[in-house]
Every structure is written in C-alpha cells, then in structure tokens.
Amino acid sequence: MDDIDRAILRELQTDGRIAYADLGPKVGLSASAARQRLQRLLDTKAVQVVGVTDPMSMGGQAMALLGIGVDGDPRAVADALAARSEVVYAVLTSGGFDLFAEVVAAGPRELLDFVNDVVRPIEGIRQIQAFPYFGIHTHRFLWDVG
C-alpha cells in the first residue's frame, strides 16, 4: 500500500460513495486510474465499501458486548461465534476476558435467548459477562491510514 492508496482510503472514509471523477483529482490521479486503484484494493480485500447502520436506531433491536472467558484455545470459540449472524464482531484479547463479541438481537428476550441457548453451550466457554447497550454514543470507522 503506497501513499496514493492511503489517500484513496482517506477519501473513502469521508465519503464512501465518492464518484471516480471526484476521487481521482483529490488523490492525484485520473478518474480511470483511481477506479483501477480502488478496484485493486477491493480485489485484495484491503478495503470494503459498505453501508454502516446503527442497529439501535432501527427500532426494537438489542445489542450487547459479551466478555467471554475460555478454557483452552479462544480461537475455536471465536470461530463458533463468527458463524452466527447475530455476532457483529469477535476479537481475541487478554486480561479479564479471552475474547469479546458484539451481538445484535431482535429484542431483549432474543438477546437473552442467544446468550443462554447459543453462546453458553459452546464448548470451552467458562464465563460470559454481558454488557447490554442502552445506546451507541460514538460509532465511527475512521482510522489513520498513514
């Protein structure tokens, strides 16, 4: 990834729907060259252009961060969680928990059912602590791309 790729990513973080005709001049390329560069980034999976929603504002949904303690390899538990559509992301960590998983459910009851009926029985899980969300205060996808 070079300086032009990073400039493209910075522009996409500001406006993921920017036209190539506008993107190219902002990063020092023609529109067609910008399209080719972005296509390469997409093809190599270095970047994804997606619509990001706020599940809490969509009504009737419940979200929580699950702190999970594991006996054994936490990657196996993370793989099992990642297979579920309710899991937005799973991260391996250290400290009081071996991994965190953010989950979205249709409502509070479904969230409880998911934690108790789906997550708790996964082999290797020793502890789950759920942190239900009351609202999302900050939700950004802007990272320094150098």
Q: Could you give the domains of the chain?
A: 3-43 (1.10.10.10), 55-132 (3.30.70.920)
Beta bridge partners of 69: 127
pLDDT per residue over 35-50, tens digit each?
A: 999 999 999 988 888 7
What does the pLDDT read at residue 134?
A: 86
What does the pLDDT read at residue 140?
A: 63
Say how far apart CA 103 and CA 107 lie, in whole Å.
Answer: 11
Say how far apart CA 103 and CA 21 lie, in whole Å.
Answer: 38
Q: Considering only the C-alpha atoms of the chain, give the largest distance between any 2 of them, rounded to a whole number of Å.
A: 55
Whether 40 contacts 32, CB under 8 Å: no
What does the pLDDT read at residue 46?
A: 84
Is the pLDDT higher at 123 or at 10? 123
What does the pLDDT read at residue 47?
A: 83
Say how far apart CA 38 and CA 45 lie, in whole Å.
Answer: 10
What does the pLDDT read at residue 60?
A: 58
Say how far apart CA 69 and CA 78 lie, in whole Å.
Answer: 11
Asked if residue 58 has pLDDT above 90, the reply is: no
